[in-house]
C-alpha cells in the first residue's frame, strides 16, 4: 500500500469564524501552518487544536515534521504561513503572553550539565521574571513532586537519563504553564523511566488541567482516551479521539490504523508497537 | 498531588521582572565562569605573557614619543597596557559567542530563547553578562600590572569603567553577531583566527598609529577604520581620566550596529534559527 492509496482521514477544513472561536477556547490552536526549508516542505497546511486538560498525542515517524512544528510553536522558527495561538494569544502578535503559558520539554537535553539541579531551576525561573525567593519555593515544590528533592544540590551531569527528563519536566512546570509540549520526551529511557514520566504527565492533565501535546513515535504511549494527531511527511492524516481514528481507518488498534493511514508498513521498523 | 504554583498573569512584565531576568542571566554566566577556572587563568596569562615577555623584549626597540593622553615619556609596557585590557575583552567577547554556539549545539540556547521576555532583551542581558565577566578579568589584570609599575592615576581605575563597559559591549555584540553565522562549533576556530588576530594586530594596541603610518600608509588606514583601535584608545584615554570623543562615537556606533545585527540574526523569522535542524531531525 502506498501513501497515495492509503485511507487518509482528511480533517474537515473549518471555516474562518469557527477556527477563530476554537482558537480562543483551545490551549493550542494550529491553523493552516506550512513551513519549508528552502525548496523542501517540512509541514503543509497543518490544522488541529489541543484542548485544555487534554492529552493529545502527536504520532509520526522520524522526519514527519514533529520537531519543526514544536520549533514553530515555541518561536524558535518564524511562522512562514498560517497561525498558531496559545489560549487565544497569537504567538506572532503577542509572543510574551503566549510563551508564558507554555512549558516545553525539547527532544535534545537542554539542561546546563555544570550547574546543579536547583541552579538550573532558578535560572529558568529568572528567565520568566520570577523573583529568587518565589523561585526557591517553586523549585522545592516541583523537586518534591518529581522525587528529586534529595538531588537538589547535585550536578545535573551526575543524574541518570530518566532523572534528567523528570527535571526537564519539572523545569517546564516551574512557571505554572497551562500548556505543556513534550517532544519525544521518553526517547532513550528504560521501560520504567518511560512509564513513570508518562504517568506523571497524565497526572498533570487530570489533576492540574494542563493541556499536553505529546510528540511520539511509540504506539504504546497512546491510550484510547487520548486525542490523536497523525503526522506523516509534513501533513496531518488524521485527527480526533483515538477510537475515532482507529474506527475511521478500519483498524482495530493504533498500530494498524497508523500503517493504513500512512501506507508505511515497509518503513515501520522505526516504530515500536 | 496538589499544586500551589501560581499561574502566570496575562499582562506584560514589570520592571523588577526584567531585573530578575538580567540578574539570572548574569548569575548563570558568573557560575559558568567560576566552574571554568582554567578560563579565568588563561584569560589572565595571555595578556601577562604579552606584558612581561613581549613588552620587555620590545621596550628598547619601540620608542614611544609623548602622545596624548600621556604627558611624559612612558615605558612600552605602560603603552600596551590599555591594548592588553582591550585584548582581554576581545577574547572574552569571542569566548562568550563560542559558548553561545556551544549552547546552541547542546540545546541550552533553547531555554533562553523560549523565555517569554522580549528576545532583544534576552540577548542584551547575555551581552551584559559577558561584559561583567570581562570586567573581572580586566581588573585582575590591572591589579597584577600594578606590581610592575603600570600604575595609572588612582581615579583612572574608576574612570576607565564606563569605557570598559562600552568596549566590552561592542566586542561582545560583535562576537554574538559572528556566532549567529556559525553552524558548528568546529568552524569557530577559523573565525577566531580571522577575527581576533587581524583585529588585534591591525590596531593601536601594540604600537601608536603614527608609527604604523611611517611603515605602511595602507595599514594605517586599516588600523584607523578598525573598531578595535577605537576601543583601545577609548580605554587608554579613560584610564587617564580623559575622553577620546572620536573613539567614543565610533565605539558607540559600532556597539549599536553590532547589537542590531545580532538581534536581527537571532530573530526567529530570519538568520540563525531559520535553518533546518541538524542531523536530519525534522
Alpha-carbon distance A67 to nearest alpha carbon in chain B (angstroms): 5
Predicted TM-score (pTM) of this structure: 0.80
What percent of chain A shows pLDDT beyond 90?
44
Cell of residue B139, nine digits: 581588573
Closest-CA residue to B200 (of B94, B97, B90, B95): B90
Sorted by where each begins, the domain ranges of chain A are: 16-101+178-270, 111-176
Out of A84-88, A216-220, B57-61, pick the least confident: B57-61
What's the pLDDT at A270? 44
A254 phi and psi angles, rounded to 5 deg = -65, -40
Q: How many helices (H) and strands (E) does chain A have?
A: 9, 10
- HSE-up of A76 (CA within 13 Å, CB side)? 20
**Cβ partners under 8 Å of residue B241, min gap 6:** B153, B155, B156, B159
What's the pLDDT at B230? 95
- CB of A116 within 8 Å of a chain B CB? The answer is no
Residues of chain B with pLDDT under 50: 1-4, 271-281
CB contact under 8 A, B277 and A64: no
To the nearest 10°, report the CA torsion of A172, A176, A182, A187.
40
Q: What does the pLDDT look like over A128-147, one tens digit per residue?
A: 999 999 999 999 988 988 88
Q: Are A164 and A111 in contact (CB under 8 A)?
A: yes
> What residues of chain B, 242 to 281, have a C-beta less than 8 Å from chain A?
267-270, 273-277, 280-281
Residue A273 has pLDDT above 80, yes or no: no
What's the pLDDT at B96? 78
What's the rounded Cα separation, in Å, for the pair A85 and B139?
Answer: 48
Which neighbouring-strand residues pair with A213?
A56, A181
What's the pLDDT at B279? 42
Q: Are B164 and B235 in contact (CB under 8 A)?
A: yes
Burial per residue of A30-67, b for 16 or more beta-carbon CB atoms within 10 angstroms, e otherwise: bbbbbbeeeeeebbbebbbbbeeebbbbbbbbebbbbb
CB contact under 8 A, A37 and B10: no
Architecture of domain A16-101+178-270: 3-Layer(aba) Sandwich (3.40)
The owner of cell 541538524 is B278
Residues from chain A contacting residue B112 (CB–CB below 8 Å) = 127
Banded pLDDT at A23 (limits 50, 70, 90)? low
Q: Are B82 and B235 in contact (CB under 8 A)?
A: yes
**Cβ partners under 8 Å of residue A143, min gap 6:** A117, A118, A121, A149, A151, A152, A170
What's the pLDDT at A126? 94
Which neighbouring-strand residues pair with A222?
none
Cell of residue B256, nine digits: 549599536
Measured CA to CA in angstroms, residue A112 lies from A213, B50, B110 at distances of 24, 34, 11
The owner of cell 544540590 is A153
Residues from chain B contacting residue A115 (CB–CB below 8 Å) = 28, 31-32
Using alpha carbons only, how large is chain A's radius of gyration in Å? 19
Q: What does the pLDDT look like over B14-72, one tens digit per residue?
A: 899 999 999 999 998 888 888 777 777 877 888 888 888 877 777 666 666 677 777 77
Q: What does the pLDDT look like over A149-163, one tens digit per residue?
A: 899 999 999 998 888
Q: Are B49 and B88 in contact (CB under 8 A)?
A: no
What's the rounded Cα separation, in Å, for the pair B203 and B156?
Answer: 22
Amino acid at each position: 500500500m502506498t501513501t497515495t492509496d492509503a485511507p487518509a482521514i482528511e480533517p474537515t477544513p473549518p471555516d474562518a469564524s469557527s477556527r477563530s472561536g476554537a482558537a480562543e477556547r483551545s490551549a493550542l490552536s494550529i491553523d493552516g501552518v506550512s513551513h519549508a526549508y528552502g525548496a523542501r516542505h517540512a509541514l503543509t497546511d497543518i490544522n488541529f487544536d489541543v484542548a485544555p486538560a487534554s492529552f493529545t498525542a502527536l504520532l509520526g515517524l522520524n522526519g514527519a515534521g514533529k520537531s519543526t512544528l514544536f520549533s514553530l510553536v515555541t518561536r524558535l522558527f518564524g511562522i512562514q504561513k498560517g497561525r498558531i495561538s496559545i489560549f487565544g494569544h497569537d504567538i506572532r502578535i503577542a509572543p510574551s503572553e503566549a510563551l508564558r503559558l507554555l512549558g516545553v520539554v525539547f527532544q535534545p537535553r537542554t539542561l546546563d550539565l555544570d550547574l546543579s539541579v536547583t541552579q538550573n531551576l532558578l535560572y529558568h525561573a529568572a528567565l520568566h521574571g520570577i523573583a529568587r525567593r518565589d523561585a526557591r519555593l517553586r523549585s522545592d515544590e516541583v523537586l518534591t513532586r518529581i522525587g528529586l528533592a534529595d538531588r537538589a544540590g547535585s550536578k545535573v551531569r551526575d543524574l541518570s537519563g530518566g532523572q534528567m527528563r523528570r527535571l526537564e519536566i519539572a523545569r517546564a512546570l516551574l512557571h505554572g504553564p497551562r500548556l505543556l509540549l513534550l517532544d519525544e520526551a521518553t526517547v532513550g529511557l528504560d521501560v520504567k523511566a518511560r512509564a513513570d514520566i508518562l504517568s506523571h504527565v497524565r497526572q498533570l492533565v487530570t489533576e492540574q488541567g494542563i493541556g499536553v501535546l505529546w510528540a511520539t513515535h511509540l504506539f504504546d504511549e497512546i491510550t484510547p482516551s487520548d486525542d490523536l494527531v497523525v503526522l506523516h511527511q509534513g501533513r496531518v492524516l488524521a485527527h480526533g479521539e483515538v477510537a475515532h481514528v482507529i474506527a475511521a481507518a478500519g483498524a482495530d488498534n493504533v498500530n494498524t490504523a497508523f500503517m493504513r493511514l500512512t501506507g508505511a508498513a515497509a518503513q515501520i521498523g522505526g516504530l515500536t508497537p | 498531588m496538589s499544586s500551589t504554583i501560581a499561574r502566570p498573569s496575562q499582562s506584560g512584565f514589570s520592571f523588577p521582572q526584567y531585573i530578575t531576568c538580567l540578574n539570572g542571566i548574569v548569575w548563570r554566566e558568573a557560575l559558568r565562569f567560576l566552574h571554568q577556572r582554567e578560563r579565568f587563568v588563561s584569560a589572565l596569562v595571555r595578556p601577562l605573557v604579552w606584558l612581561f615577555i613581549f613588552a620587555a623584549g620590545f621596550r628598547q626597540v619601540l620608542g614611544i614619543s609623548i602622545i596624548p593622553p600621556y604627558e611624559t615619556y612612558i615605558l612600552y609596557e605602560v603603552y600596551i597596557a590599555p591594548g592588553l585590557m582591550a585584548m582581554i575583552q576581545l577574547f572574552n567577547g569571542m569566548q562568550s559567542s563560542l559558548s553561545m554556539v556551544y549552547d546552541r549545539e547542546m540545546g541550552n540556547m533553547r531555554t533562553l530563547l523560549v523565555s517569554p521576555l522580549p528576545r532583544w532583551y534576552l540577548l542584551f542581558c547575555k551581552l551584559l553578562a559577558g561584559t561583567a565577566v570581562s570586567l573581572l578579568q580586566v581588573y585582575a589584570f590591572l591589579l597584577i600590572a600594578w606590581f610592575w609599575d603600570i600604575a595609572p592615576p588612582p581615579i583612572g581605575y574608576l574612570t576607565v569603567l564606563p569605557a570598559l563597559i562600552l568596549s566590552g559591549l561592542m566586542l561582545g555584540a560583535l562576537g554574538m553577531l559572528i556566532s549567529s553565522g556559525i553552524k558548528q562549533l568546529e568552524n569557530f576556530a577559523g573565525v577566531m583566527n580571522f577575527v581576533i588576530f587581524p583585529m588585534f594586530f591591525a590596531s593601536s594596541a601594540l604600537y601608536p598609529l603614527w608609527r604604523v603610518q611611517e611603515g605602511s600608509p595602507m595599514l594605517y588606514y586599516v588600523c584607523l577604520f578598525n573598531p578595535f583601535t577605537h576601543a583601545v584608545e577609548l580605554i587608554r584615554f579613560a584610564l587617564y581620566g580623559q575622553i577620546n570623543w572620536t573613539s567614543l562615537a565610533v565605539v558607540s556606533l559600532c556597539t549599536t550596529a553590532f547589537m542590531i545585527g545580532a538581534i536581527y540574526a537571532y530573530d526567529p523569522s530570519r538568520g540563525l534559527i531559520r535553518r533546518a535542524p541538524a542531523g536530519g531531525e525534522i
